[in-house]
């Protein structure tokens, strides 16, 4: 994340870095709640169902209980973008651009690094794959951001964030 912040700061400003970080943090609010539900409620159920025909049904139930509400919450935060910023920050820290919203797009897909996509893999004891993926996802995001030739890299942040986490 430090490298990603450096890329954004070099192309724009530290103010834009702060705005980017605040957008990412707000998407993490939603993702962390989804991850908590997955870890506390669904991980034991998925683990117990691993290797049985019930696994697919449990996974579908977990996805419906976390991904859809996460997407709705992120849409609400996106729709209330200006009031949320006004509530959290003073008038010197404003993001009046509309292109900051794509940062929200990957959050339902990843629902935090330890969220919806990870719990089925934990239940199947595929922790090595998880560790490698988590270890490499942030450097991949920073590399994609550095390779982005858009003068205003903030426009591409959401898509690059999504690409890194899907990879």
Domains identified in the chain, total number: 1
Q: Is the dihedral of CA 94, 14, 160, 65 positive or negative?
A: negative
The pLDDT confidence band at residue 82, using thresholds 50, 70 and 90, is confident
Mean pLDDT confidence for 117-144: 80
Which residues span the domain enclosing 144? 2-166
Predicted local confidence at residue 57, as pLDDT: 93
Please, which residues have CB within 8 angstroms of residue 56's CB and are 6 or more apart in sequence?
Answer: none
Tell me: pLDDT of 52 over 90.
yes
Structure tokens at 66: 């976390």
Tell me: pLDDT of 11 over 50.
yes
The pLDDT confidence band at residue 49, using thresholds 50, 70 and 90, is very high
Predicted local confidence at residue 151, as pLDDT: 56
- Identify the residue with better confidence: 117 or 138: 138
Buried b (16+ CB within 10 A) or exposed e, 88-125: eeeeeeebeeeebbbbbbbbbbbbbbbbbbbbbebbee
Please, which residues have CB within 8 angstroms of residue 50's CB and are 6 or more apart in sequence?
Answer: 123, 124, 125
The C-alpha atoms of residue 40 and residue 53 are separated, in whole angstroms, by 22
The C-alpha atoms of residue 37 and residue 17 are separated, in whole angstroms, by 30
pLDDT in tens, 86-130: 777 777 666 555 444 444 444 444 444 345 567 777 777 778 887
Instruction: Report, in angstroms and rounded to the nearest whole number, the Rg of the chain calculated over CA atoms.
Output: 17
Predicted local confidence at residue 112, as pLDDT: 42
């Amino acid at each position: 994340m430090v490298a990603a912040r450096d890329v954004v700061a070099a192309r724009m400003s530290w103010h834009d870095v702060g705005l980017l970080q605040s957008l990412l943090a707000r998407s993490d609010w939603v993702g962390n709640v989804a991850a908590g539900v997955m870890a506390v409620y669904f991980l034991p159920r998925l683990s117990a169902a691993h290797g049985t025909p019930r696994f697919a049904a449990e996974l579908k139930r977990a996805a419906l209980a976390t991904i859809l509400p996460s997407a709705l919450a992120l849409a609400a935060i996106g729709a209330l973008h200006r009031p949320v910023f006004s509530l959290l920050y003073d008038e010197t820290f404003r993001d009046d651009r509309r292109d900051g919203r794509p940062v929200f797009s990957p959050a339902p897909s990843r629902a935090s690094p330890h969220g919806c996509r990870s719990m089925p893999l934990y239940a199947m004891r595929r922790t090595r794959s998880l560790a490698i993926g988590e270890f490499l996802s942030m450097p991949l995001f920073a590399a994609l951001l550095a390779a982005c030739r858009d003068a205003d890299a903030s426009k591409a942040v959401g898509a690059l964030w999504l690409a890194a986490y899907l990879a």
